[in-house]
Amino acid sequence: LLAALACVQGMNRRQLAEVASESESKWLAQAKAVRSEDLPAAVRLDLPDWLYGELLAGFAADELERLAAALNQPAPLDLRVNPLRAGRDEVLEKLLASGLAASPCPYSPLAIRLAGKPPLAQHPLFVDGSIEVQDEGSQLLGFLLQPRRGQMVADVCAGAGGKTLLLGALMRSQGRLYAFDVSDRRLAKLKPRLARSGLSNVYPV
């Protein structure tokens, strides 16, 4: 805790004097004197030793540095447009008009990325089912599957239903899509999302 306060939060020894013993203060002085470049690579990149070793076997050192930096960044807030309700350009226009900073994601044709973490629960586009919160990577899994109208599809790890809803939309609400999960509590979160989506081909099991 003291190390985090001193090295991450930037508090100095005087600020920590009331909570740090004399020996702890000396240790903190030594810790703050250590340069980042002198730390072991796994420590500097904030990766467990075992994971660093595995990744180093598949990535060049400079690539691994960039990967670790990306992994240590907060996840962005991505939305998925419900194609049964609206198109991405239309949704983008409405989001911008409502004062939100939004831009299309580069890979998923339904994904929009927001700046920051604005509240969305009362936004008209969320309430009417035009958008759902779903990261772009998760969306790509649905596109890789390429479900088609009229097929019978099973999502056997549905969770709260993000990918399930995407699969149902890609099927244009035709066919049968069964949603399974070992957790009834997680699967229960699908029900209000399903109601907003307008889908009629999803069957939680």
Q: 119 and 167 share a domain?
A: no
Does a structural domain hold residue 129? yes
Task: State the Cα–Cα distance between residues 159 and 141, nearest whole angstrom.
Answer: 15
Are 26 and 88 contained in the same domain? no
Q: Are residues 47 and 101 in the same domain?
A: no
Residues 106 and 48 in one domain: no
Here the tokens at position 11 are 């508090």
Q: Does residue 85 share a domain with residue 67?
A: no
- Residues 124 and 162 both lie in one domain: no
Give the number of domains in the chain.
3
Both 6 and 51 in one domain: the answer is: yes
Domain end, chosen from 72, 93, 124, is at: 72
Give the pLDDT confidence score for residue 167 in this predicted structure.
98
Q: Which of 72, 97, 112 is the last residue of a domain?
A: 72
pLDDT score of 88? 98
140 within domain boundaries: no
Domain encompassing residue 97: 77-134
Whether residues 21 and 81 share a domain: the answer is no
pLDDT at 5: 65
Element (H, E) at 121: none
Q: pLDDT tens digits for the chain (205 residues)?
A: 666 666 655 666 666 666 677 777 777 777 667 777 777 888 888 899 999 999 999 999 899 999 999 988 889 999 999 999 999 999 999 999 999 999 999 999 999 999 999 999 999 999 999 999 999 999 999 999 999 999 999 999 999 999 999 999 999 999 999 999 999 999 999 999 999 999 999 999 9
37 assigned to some structural domain:
yes
Residue 161 domain-assigned (yes or no): yes
127 and 170 share one domain? no
pLDDT recorded at residue 143: 97
Give the end of a domain, one of 46, 72, 98.
72
What is the per-residue pLDDT for 49?
93
Q: Determine the pLDDT at residue 13.
A: 61
Q: Is residue 141 part of a domain?
A: no
Predicted local confidence at residue 64, as pLDDT: 94
78: DSSP letter: E
Predicted TM-score of the model (pTM):
0.76
**Which DSSP state fits 8?**
I
Neighbour-count burial for 159-196, b at 16+ CB within 10 Å, e otherwise: bbbbbbbbbbbbbebebebbbebeeeeebebbeebbeb
Q: What is the pLDDT of residue 7?
A: 61
- Residues 67 and 9 grouped into a single domain: yes
Q: Is residue 111 part of a domain?
A: yes
Residues 68 and 10 in one domain: yes
Radius of gyration (C-alpha) of the chain in whole angstroms: 23
- 51 in any annotated domain: yes
What is residue 9's predicted lDDT score, i.e. its pLDDT? Answer: 59
**Inter-residue contact 204 to 193 (CB < 8 Å):** no
| Residues 127 and 161 placed together within one structural domain of the fold | no
Q: Residue 166 domain-assigned?
A: yes
Q: What is the CATH number of the domain that holds 96?
A: 3.30.70.1170
